[in-house]
Amino acid sequence: MIFSLKNEQGFIYAYIGWETVDKEGKNKNDSEYLYINDLWIHPQYRKGKIINLFIRLLEKDHRTKNVKYIYWSREKYDGRLSKLLTRNRAVKKGVDYAYAII
């Protein structure tokens, strides 16, 4: 799935690609794991709380109702997977925590 945010002119300034997966990383609906496979934010909008908006969108989506853990691939470390982030921690910590670990 992809969520995108658009500005007043209709241009996309941020998007996030995600899917629910099983423990082995295979696509599975209603799973406990959410894998973020792509995230992009235009440089002009990076100082805002865009990740908080995405967290709220993911929290409200019916396809993520069973998700307990979130993870992603870290380009900075040659594609190594991140540590598991619990759903509750992502919602509570929001943007400050997310920027620190991405």
* Paired sense of beta strands 12-21 and 2-6, if any: antiparallel
* Domains in the chain: ranges and CATH: 2-101 (3.40.630.30)
Please state the pTM of the whole predicted model: 0.81
Q: Distance between the two ends of the chain, CA-based, in angstroms?
A: 20
13-67 pLDDT per residue, tens: 999 999 999 988 899 988 999 999 988 999 988 877 888 888 888 888 899 999 9
Looking at residue 51, its pLDDT comes to 82
Exposure string over 1-18, b if 16+ CB within 10 A, otherwise e = eeeebeeeeeeebbbbeb
**CB of 16 within 8 A of CB of 70?**
no
